[in-house]
Structure 1
Protein backbone atom coordinates (compact mmCIF):
# COMPACT_ATOMS: atom_id res chain seq x y z
CA UNK A 1 0.00 0.00 0.00
CA UNK A 2 1.34 3.43 -0.94
CA UNK A 3 1.76 6.05 1.73
CA UNK A 4 0.43 9.54 1.21
CA UNK A 5 3.16 12.15 1.31
CA UNK A 6 2.86 14.59 4.24
CA UNK A 7 2.60 17.59 1.89
CA UNK A 8 -0.25 16.02 -0.07
CA UNK A 9 -2.03 15.06 3.14
CA UNK A 10 -1.80 18.66 4.36
CA UNK A 11 -3.30 19.93 1.09
CA UNK A 12 -6.14 17.39 1.31
CA UNK A 13 -6.93 18.41 4.89
CA UNK A 14 -6.96 22.11 3.95
CA UNK A 15 -9.25 21.45 0.96
CA UNK A 16 -11.65 19.41 3.12
CA UNK A 17 -11.71 22.13 5.77
CA UNK A 18 -12.43 24.78 3.11
CA UNK A 19 -15.32 22.73 1.73
CA UNK A 20 -16.77 22.19 5.21
CA UNK A 21 -16.51 25.88 6.16
CA UNK A 22 -17.88 26.99 2.78
CA UNK A 23 -20.85 24.63 3.09
CA UNK A 24 -21.78 26.05 6.49
CA UNK A 25 -21.36 29.59 5.16
CA UNK A 26 -23.52 28.87 2.09
CA UNK A 27 -26.18 27.28 4.30
CA UNK A 28 -26.24 30.34 6.55
CA UNK A 29 -26.62 32.61 3.51
CA UNK A 30 -29.52 30.52 2.21
CA UNK A 31 -27.55 29.27 -0.78
CA UNK A 32 -27.34 25.64 0.30
CA UNK A 33 -30.72 24.14 1.15
CA UNK A 34 -30.51 20.45 1.91
CA UNK A 35 -33.86 19.17 3.15
CA UNK A 36 -33.52 17.60 6.59
CA UNK A 37 -29.84 18.58 6.78
CA UNK A 38 -29.42 22.36 6.51
CA UNK A 39 -33.13 23.25 6.51
CA UNK A 40 -36.30 21.74 7.97
CA UNK A 41 -37.59 18.70 6.07
CA UNK A 42 -40.87 19.93 4.56
CA UNK A 43 -41.59 16.47 3.09
CA UNK A 44 -40.85 13.93 5.85
CA UNK A 45 -43.39 11.47 4.42
CA UNK A 46 -42.09 11.59 0.87
CA UNK A 47 -44.65 10.95 -1.87
CA UNK A 48 -47.79 11.78 0.10
CA UNK A 49 -46.44 15.17 1.21
CA UNK A 50 -46.30 16.35 -2.41
CA UNK A 51 -48.97 14.18 -4.02
CA UNK A 52 -52.02 15.71 -2.34
CA UNK A 53 -54.97 17.97 -3.05
CA UNK A 54 -53.59 21.48 -3.51
CA UNK A 55 -54.70 24.65 -5.27
CA UNK A 56 -57.98 23.04 -6.28
CA UNK A 57 -56.17 20.15 -8.01
CA UNK A 58 -55.95 16.51 -6.93
CA UNK A 59 -52.35 15.28 -7.22
CA UNK A 60 -52.82 12.23 -4.96
CA UNK A 61 -51.16 9.07 -6.27
CA UNK A 62 -54.49 7.24 -6.34
CA UNK A 63 -55.90 9.89 -8.69
CA UNK A 64 -52.82 10.29 -10.89
CA UNK A 65 -52.30 6.54 -11.26
CA UNK A 66 -55.98 5.97 -12.11
CA UNK A 67 -55.74 8.65 -14.82
CA UNK A 68 -52.66 6.86 -16.21
CA UNK A 69 -54.54 3.53 -16.40
CA UNK A 70 -52.89 1.91 -13.36
CA UNK A 71 -54.94 -0.69 -11.43
CA UNK A 72 -56.81 0.68 -8.38
CA UNK A 73 -54.49 1.00 -5.36
CA UNK A 74 -56.97 2.46 -2.87
CA UNK A 75 -57.74 -0.81 -1.05
CA UNK A 76 -54.38 -2.60 -1.23
CA UNK A 77 -51.76 0.12 -0.72
CA UNK A 78 -51.68 1.63 2.79
CA UNK A 79 -48.45 3.60 2.49
CA UNK A 80 -46.46 5.09 -0.33
CA UNK A 81 -44.05 4.18 -1.69
CA UNK A 82 -43.50 1.20 0.66
CA UNK A 83 -46.86 -0.35 -0.27
CA UNK A 84 -46.06 -0.05 -3.97
CA UNK A 85 -43.16 -2.47 -3.58
CA UNK A 86 -45.51 -5.46 -3.33
CA UNK A 87 -45.76 -5.23 -7.12
CA UNK A 88 -42.79 -3.04 -8.06
CA UNK A 89 -39.70 -4.70 -6.57
CA UNK A 90 -36.51 -4.85 -8.62
CA UNK A 91 -36.97 -7.48 -11.32
CA UNK A 92 -40.77 -7.57 -10.96
CA UNK A 93 -42.96 -8.08 -14.00
CA UNK A 94 -44.67 -4.75 -13.25
CA UNK A 95 -41.30 -2.97 -13.36
CA UNK A 96 -39.04 -1.69 -10.61
CA UNK A 97 -40.48 1.27 -8.73
CA UNK A 98 -37.17 3.13 -8.53
CA UNK A 99 -36.79 3.17 -12.32
CA UNK A 100 -40.39 4.19 -12.93
CA UNK A 101 -40.38 6.95 -10.31
CA UNK A 102 -37.04 8.44 -11.37
CA UNK A 103 -38.08 8.44 -15.03
CA UNK A 104 -41.40 10.17 -14.32
CA UNK A 105 -39.89 12.74 -11.97
CA UNK A 106 -37.06 13.81 -14.29
CA UNK A 107 -38.41 13.49 -17.85
CA UNK A 108 -39.08 16.76 -19.72
CA UNK A 109 -37.36 18.82 -17.00
CA UNK A 110 -38.50 22.24 -18.24
CA UNK A 111 -42.17 21.19 -17.92
CA UNK A 112 -41.86 18.70 -15.08
CA UNK A 113 -43.43 19.83 -11.78
CA UNK A 114 -40.91 17.90 -9.67
CA UNK A 115 -38.05 19.75 -11.35
CA UNK A 116 -39.70 23.17 -11.68
CA UNK A 117 -41.49 23.30 -8.29
CA UNK A 118 -39.24 21.12 -6.13
CA UNK A 119 -35.88 21.72 -7.89
CA UNK A 120 -35.55 17.98 -8.57
CA UNK A 121 -34.23 17.68 -5.01
CA UNK A 122 -33.49 14.04 -4.18
CA UNK A 123 -33.95 14.79 -0.47
CA UNK A 124 -37.67 15.37 -1.00
CA UNK A 125 -38.01 11.60 -1.50
CA UNK A 126 -34.85 10.22 0.09
CA UNK A 127 -33.43 10.64 3.58
CA UNK A 128 -29.70 10.73 4.23
CA UNK A 129 -28.34 9.37 7.51
CA UNK A 130 -25.32 11.59 8.11
CA UNK A 131 -23.82 9.17 10.64
CA UNK A 132 -23.71 6.21 8.25
CA UNK A 133 -24.00 7.82 4.83
CA UNK A 134 -26.97 5.54 4.07
CA UNK A 135 -29.80 6.78 1.91
CA UNK A 136 -33.34 5.53 2.53
CA UNK A 137 -36.68 6.18 0.87
CA UNK A 138 -39.20 8.24 2.81
CA UNK A 139 -42.66 6.71 3.12
CA UNK A 140 -45.96 7.87 4.55
CA UNK A 141 -49.49 6.68 5.25
CA UNK A 142 -51.88 6.82 2.32
CA UNK A 143 -53.83 10.05 1.84
CA UNK A 144 -56.67 8.63 -0.26
Structure 2
Protein backbone atom coordinates (compact mmCIF):
# COMPACT_ATOMS: atom_id res chain seq x y z
CA UNK A 1 0.00 0.00 0.00
CA UNK A 2 2.83 2.41 0.91
CA UNK A 3 4.50 1.70 -2.44
CA UNK A 4 1.27 2.59 -4.26
CA UNK A 5 0.92 5.82 -2.26
CA UNK A 6 4.54 6.73 -2.94
CA UNK A 7 4.07 6.07 -6.65
CA UNK A 8 0.96 8.27 -6.63
CA UNK A 9 2.80 11.12 -4.88
CA UNK A 10 5.68 11.00 -7.36
CA UNK A 11 3.28 10.89 -10.32
CA UNK A 12 1.29 13.82 -8.96
CA UNK A 13 4.45 15.80 -8.26
CA UNK A 14 5.78 15.26 -11.76
CA UNK A 15 2.50 16.18 -13.40
CA UNK A 16 2.02 19.35 -11.36
CA UNK A 17 5.41 20.57 -12.50
CA UNK A 18 4.83 19.56 -16.11
CA UNK A 19 1.25 20.78 -16.50
CA UNK A 20 1.71 23.97 -14.53
CA UNK A 21 4.99 24.90 -16.08
CA UNK A 22 6.37 22.82 -18.93
CA UNK A 23 3.51 21.79 -21.20
CA UNK A 24 4.13 23.45 -24.56
CA UNK A 25 5.16 27.06 -24.29
CA UNK A 26 4.72 28.74 -20.89
CA UNK A 27 1.95 31.34 -20.59
CA UNK A 28 2.77 34.97 -21.30
CA UNK A 29 2.90 35.76 -17.60
CA UNK A 30 5.44 33.00 -17.09
CA UNK A 31 7.47 34.15 -20.10
CA UNK A 32 7.62 37.66 -18.67
CA UNK A 33 8.63 36.32 -15.28
CA UNK A 34 11.28 34.13 -16.90
CA UNK A 35 12.77 37.14 -18.68
CA UNK A 36 12.67 39.14 -15.47
CA UNK A 37 14.38 36.30 -13.59
CA UNK A 38 17.11 36.03 -16.23
CA UNK A 39 17.65 39.79 -16.18
CA UNK A 40 17.81 39.76 -12.40
CA UNK A 41 20.35 36.93 -12.46
CA UNK A 42 22.47 38.74 -15.05
CA UNK A 43 22.30 41.92 -12.99
CA UNK A 44 23.34 40.00 -9.92
CA UNK A 45 26.39 38.61 -11.69
CA UNK A 46 27.40 42.07 -12.89
CA UNK A 47 27.02 43.71 -9.49
CA UNK A 48 29.00 41.03 -7.71
CA UNK A 49 28.34 38.22 -5.27
CA UNK A 50 26.16 39.05 -2.31
CA UNK A 51 23.45 41.08 -4.05
CA UNK A 52 19.93 39.89 -3.30
CA UNK A 53 16.93 39.61 -5.63
CA UNK A 54 13.78 40.29 -3.63
CA UNK A 55 10.34 38.97 -4.63
CA UNK A 56 7.16 40.61 -3.33
CA UNK A 57 4.36 38.51 -1.87
CA UNK A 58 2.01 40.74 -3.87
CA UNK A 59 3.44 39.55 -7.21
CA UNK A 60 1.19 36.47 -7.31
CA UNK A 61 -2.23 36.51 -5.67
CA UNK A 62 -2.76 32.74 -5.47
CA UNK A 63 -2.25 29.43 -7.31
CA UNK A 64 -4.49 30.50 -10.18
CA UNK A 65 -2.11 33.37 -11.00
CA UNK A 66 0.14 30.72 -12.58
CA UNK A 67 -2.15 27.72 -12.95
CA UNK A 68 -4.70 29.13 -15.38
CA UNK A 69 -6.05 28.58 -18.87
CA UNK A 70 -4.30 30.85 -21.36
CA UNK A 71 -5.87 29.46 -24.52
CA UNK A 72 -7.52 26.27 -25.81
CA UNK A 73 -4.15 24.62 -26.41
CA UNK A 74 -2.42 26.12 -23.37
CA UNK A 75 -4.43 25.13 -20.33
CA UNK A 76 -2.32 25.17 -17.15
CA UNK A 77 -5.29 25.23 -14.78
CA UNK A 78 -5.46 22.94 -11.75
CA UNK A 79 -8.47 21.13 -13.21
CA UNK A 80 -6.67 20.44 -16.50
CA UNK A 81 -3.61 19.17 -14.68
CA UNK A 82 -5.63 16.84 -12.49
CA UNK A 83 -7.43 15.38 -15.52
CA UNK A 84 -4.09 14.11 -16.79
CA UNK A 85 -3.27 12.28 -13.54
CA UNK A 86 -3.85 8.57 -14.01
CA UNK A 87 -6.10 7.23 -11.27
CA UNK A 88 -7.01 10.64 -9.87
CA UNK A 89 -10.77 11.11 -9.30
CA UNK A 90 -12.54 13.88 -11.26
CA UNK A 91 -12.13 17.25 -9.53
CA UNK A 92 -13.48 20.47 -11.01
CA UNK A 93 -11.29 22.57 -8.71
CA UNK A 94 -13.80 25.42 -8.96
CA UNK A 95 -12.52 26.74 -5.63
CA UNK A 96 -8.88 26.29 -6.55
CA UNK A 97 -6.51 24.56 -4.15
CA UNK A 98 -9.21 24.52 -1.45
CA UNK A 99 -10.87 21.63 -3.30
CA UNK A 100 -7.77 19.49 -2.70
CA UNK A 101 -8.01 19.54 1.10
CA UNK A 102 -10.79 16.96 1.49
CA UNK A 103 -8.48 14.21 0.19
CA UNK A 104 -5.03 15.68 0.82
CA UNK A 105 -5.23 16.07 4.57
CA UNK A 106 -2.61 17.73 6.78
CA UNK A 107 -0.74 14.49 7.50
CA UNK A 108 -0.03 11.36 5.51
CA UNK A 109 1.85 10.23 2.41
CA UNK A 110 -0.28 12.37 0.10
CA UNK A 111 -0.69 15.42 2.32
CA UNK A 112 -1.10 18.59 0.28
CA UNK A 113 2.04 20.12 1.79
CA UNK A 114 4.17 17.13 0.85
CA UNK A 115 2.80 16.83 -2.70
CA UNK A 116 3.08 20.54 -3.50
CA UNK A 117 6.55 21.03 -2.02
CA UNK A 118 7.88 18.02 -3.93
CA UNK A 119 6.36 19.32 -7.17
CA UNK A 120 7.74 22.83 -6.78
CA UNK A 121 11.22 22.10 -5.43
CA UNK A 122 12.41 18.66 -6.57
CA UNK A 123 14.45 17.79 -9.65
CA UNK A 124 17.25 19.51 -11.50
CA UNK A 125 16.31 22.65 -13.45
CA UNK A 126 12.97 22.78 -11.62
CA UNK A 127 10.83 25.34 -13.46
CA UNK A 128 9.47 27.00 -10.33
CA UNK A 129 12.96 27.42 -8.90
CA UNK A 130 14.68 28.57 -12.09
CA UNK A 131 11.92 30.86 -13.41
CA UNK A 132 10.14 32.01 -10.27
CA UNK A 133 13.18 32.09 -7.95
CA UNK A 134 11.56 29.29 -5.93
CA UNK A 135 9.94 32.01 -3.85
CA UNK A 136 7.72 30.78 -1.03
CA UNK A 137 5.71 34.01 -1.04
CA UNK A 138 4.22 33.27 -4.45
CA UNK A 139 2.08 30.71 -2.56
CA UNK A 140 2.37 31.62 1.14
CA UNK A 141 1.21 34.98 2.53
CA UNK A 142 2.01 36.53 5.92
CA UNK A 143 -0.93 37.29 8.22
CA UNK A 144 -1.16 39.78 11.09
CA UNK A 145 -0.79 36.82 13.46
CA UNK A 146 2.52 35.75 11.93
CA UNK A 147 1.18 32.71 10.11
CA UNK A 148 1.96 31.90 6.47
CA UNK A 149 -1.03 30.03 5.03
CA UNK A 150 -1.31 29.16 1.37
CA UNK A 151 -3.35 31.84 -0.38
CA UNK A 152 -6.79 30.35 -0.90
CA UNK A 153 -6.66 28.31 2.31
CA UNK A 154 -6.76 31.21 4.76
CA UNK A 155 -9.63 31.84 7.16
CA UNK A 156 -12.31 34.28 5.92
CA UNK A 157 -11.44 37.87 6.73
CA UNK A 158 -7.70 37.21 6.94
CA UNK A 159 -5.53 40.22 6.09
CA UNK A 160 -2.16 39.69 4.41
CA UNK A 161 0.89 41.87 4.92
CA UNK A 162 3.06 42.50 1.87
CA UNK A 163 6.62 41.30 2.39
CA UNK A 164 9.64 40.92 0.13
CA UNK A 165 11.97 37.94 0.34
CA UNK A 166 15.01 36.63 -1.49
CA UNK A 167 15.67 32.94 -2.06
CA UNK A 168 19.12 32.61 -0.53
CA UNK A 169 20.50 30.26 2.10
CA UNK A 170 22.93 32.08 4.37
CA UNK A 171 22.57 29.58 7.21
CA UNK A 172 22.85 26.03 5.84
CA UNK A 173 23.47 24.73 9.36
CA UNK A 174 20.36 26.33 10.81
CA UNK A 175 19.72 28.97 13.48
CA UNK A 176 23.17 28.82 15.06
CA UNK A 177 24.87 29.88 11.83
CA UNK A 178 23.44 33.36 12.47
CA UNK A 179 22.62 33.24 16.17
CA UNK A 180 26.10 32.83 17.62
CA UNK A 181 28.55 34.69 19.80
CA UNK A 182 31.00 36.66 17.68
CA UNK A 183 32.74 38.44 20.55
CA UNK A 184 32.02 39.55 24.12
CA UNK A 185 30.21 42.65 22.88
CA UNK A 186 28.57 40.91 19.91
CA UNK A 187 26.63 37.98 21.29
CA UNK A 188 23.77 36.99 18.99
CA UNK A 189 23.33 33.48 20.38
CA UNK A 190 19.83 32.19 21.09
CA UNK A 191 20.47 32.23 24.84
CA UNK A 192 21.72 35.84 24.73
CA UNK A 193 18.81 37.02 22.59
CA UNK A 194 16.26 35.30 24.84
CA UNK A 195 17.88 36.85 27.91
CA UNK A 196 17.02 40.29 26.52
CA UNK A 197 13.31 39.41 26.29
CA UNK A 198 11.38 40.92 29.16
CA UNK A 199 9.56 38.32 31.32
CA UNK A 200 10.92 35.35 29.32
CA UNK A 201 12.11 32.52 31.61
CA UNK A 202 15.82 31.76 31.63
CA UNK A 203 16.70 29.42 28.79
CA UNK A 204 20.39 28.55 28.45
CA UNK A 205 19.85 26.22 25.48
CA UNK A 206 21.36 26.89 22.06
CA UNK A 207 18.95 24.65 20.16
CA UNK A 208 15.69 25.81 18.60
CA UNK A 209 14.28 22.36 19.35
CA UNK A 210 14.12 23.33 23.03
CA UNK A 211 11.70 26.15 22.19
CA UNK A 212 9.04 23.79 20.86
CA UNK A 213 8.09 22.46 24.30
CA UNK A 214 6.62 25.85 25.30
CA UNK A 215 5.91 27.31 21.87
CA UNK A 216 3.64 24.56 20.55
CA UNK A 217 1.87 25.02 17.25
CA UNK A 218 -1.82 25.84 17.53
CA UNK A 219 -1.29 28.03 20.60
CA UNK A 220 -1.04 31.86 20.92
CA UNK A 221 2.71 31.43 21.47
CA UNK A 222 3.26 29.18 18.46
CA UNK A 223 6.92 29.10 17.46
CA UNK A 224 6.09 29.66 13.79
CA UNK A 225 4.13 32.85 14.49
CA UNK A 226 6.84 34.28 16.74
CA UNK A 227 9.66 33.46 14.32
CA UNK A 228 7.82 34.71 11.23
CA UNK A 229 6.90 38.00 12.89
CA UNK A 230 10.32 38.52 14.44
CA UNK A 231 12.22 37.81 11.24
CA UNK A 232 9.99 38.98 8.40
CA UNK A 233 8.77 42.17 10.08
CA UNK A 234 11.99 42.97 11.93
CA UNK A 235 14.62 45.50 10.92
CA UNK A 236 17.75 43.35 10.86
CA UNK A 237 16.75 40.32 8.82
CA UNK A 238 16.67 42.06 5.44
CA UNK A 239 20.45 41.79 5.10
CA UNK A 240 19.90 38.03 5.22
CA UNK A 241 17.39 38.33 2.39
CA UNK A 242 14.30 37.90 4.61
CA UNK A 243 14.79 34.42 3.24
CA UNK A 244 12.58 31.48 4.18
CA UNK A 245 15.29 28.95 3.34
CA UNK A 246 17.69 30.36 5.90
CA UNK A 247 15.48 28.53 8.39
CA UNK A 248 13.53 26.02 6.30
CA UNK A 249 15.28 23.09 4.63
CA UNK A 250 14.40 23.17 0.94
CA UNK A 251 15.76 19.65 0.45
CA UNK A 252 13.74 18.19 3.33
CA UNK A 253 10.07 19.08 2.83
CA UNK A 254 10.72 22.66 4.02
CA UNK A 255 11.04 21.55 7.63
CA UNK A 256 12.72 23.96 10.04
CA UNK A 257 16.40 23.13 10.31
CA UNK A 258 17.00 21.58 13.71
CA UNK A 259 13.41 20.42 14.11
Normalised to the residue count of structure 1, the TM-score between the two structures is 0.60
Partner of 1:66: 83
**SS of the counterpart of 1:34?**
strand
Runs of 4 or more consecutive aligned structure 1 residues displaced over 3 Å after TM superposition: none
Question: Are residue 34 (structure 1) and residue 48 (structure 2) matched?
Answer: no
Alpha-carbon distance in 2 for matches of 1:106, 1:87: 22
1:13-50 CA-to-partner distances (Å, cap 9, x unmatched) read: xxxxxxxxxxxxxxxxx9442323xxxx1211x21111
Q: Which residue of 1 aligns with 2:138?
A: 124
CA distance in 1, matches of 2:70, 2:134: 19
TM-score (norm 2): 0.35
Residues of 2 paired with 1:109 and 1:54: CA distance? 26
Greater relative contact order: 1 or 2 (C-alpha under 8 angstroms, separation 6 or more)? 1
Residue 80 of structure 1 and its aligned partner are, at CA, apart by 2.1
Instruction: Give the Å deviation of 1:132.
Output: 3.2
User: Is the contact made by 1:82 and 1:139 (CA closer than 8 Å) also made in structure 2?
Assistant: yes
Q: How far apart in 2 are the matches of 1:51 and 1:98?
A: 17
- Secondary structure at the aligned position of 1:90 is classed as coil
Q: In the alignment, does 2:108 pair up with 1:87?
A: no
Q: Take 1:89 and 1:109, find their aligned partners in 2: how far apart are those partners?
A: 28
Structure 2 residue aligned with 1:107: 122
Q: Which runs of no fewer than 5 residues in structure 1 stay unpaired? A: 1-29
Quick one: distance in 2 between partners of 1:32 and 1:90? 32
- Whether the 8 Å contact between 1:51 and 1:60 is mirrored in structure 2 is yes
SS in 2 for 1:137: coil
Q: Does 1:136 align with 2:124?
A: no
Number of the residue aligned with 1:54: 70
- Deviation, 1:102, is 0.4
Equivalent pairs counted in the alignment come to: 101
Structure 2: any 5+ residue segments left out of the alignment? 1-50, 154-259
Residue of structure 1 in register with 2:111 after alignment: 96
- Counterparts of 2:67 and 2:113 in 1: how far apart (Å)? 17
